[in-house]
Amino acid sequence: MGIFDKIKHAIFGEAKAAEPAAVNAPKAASVQAPVSPSPAPSQAPTASPTQSKAAPAPAAATVDIVPILDAAAKKSGQKLDWRHSIVDLMKAVGMDASLAERKELAAELGYTGDSGDSAKMNMWLHKALMKRLSENGGKVPADLLD
């Protein structure tokens, strides 16, 4: 598992922990529906895809990272500015924010600049991470994507 995947799991994992109950409920209904409509199979496929498509799509698109990261920063007991600092964001989710880890993350995300200039790399990393989280189903405020 790469550094990005660890960050994504740390952020999205908390949001998905609440989802299984909601996701399992429609699956339970879908499982029951095919069993009872055996005499009338035309009814089961019509109801099942609608329920299946409706439940996962909103769940995947609605992982709001702000409250999750705000809570993680507060829980850390440190004053962390995850909105502007990749180091603080990594600390908020309980990760090692060492230069080596950040260089590895930079390589994963396609950084082509000088990794010796940690200030520039950190700024790039934060923006690239926000963009990647957004592309992977995270709701990221527009000001963090610019």
Average pLDDT estimate for 55-82: 81
Mean of pLDDT values over 70-89: 96
What's the whole-number mean pLDDT along residues 72-83?
A: 95
What was the pLDDT predicted at 117? 96
Q: Which residue has the tokens 């992982």?
A: 63
Are 64 and 139 contacting, i.e. CB atoms less than 8 angstroms apart?
yes
- The answer to which of 17-26, 82-91, 107-116, 132-141 has the lowest mean pLDDT is 17-26
Does pTM top 0.85 for this prediction?
A: no
User: Is residue 39 pLDDT above 70, yes or no?
Assistant: no
Q: What CA–CA distance (Å, rounded) separates 17 from 60?
A: 12
Identify the pLDDT of residue 26.
40
Model pLDDT, residue 130: 97
CB of 140 within 8 A of CB of 130?
Answer: yes
| pLDDT bucket at 25, cuts 50 / 70 / 90 | very low
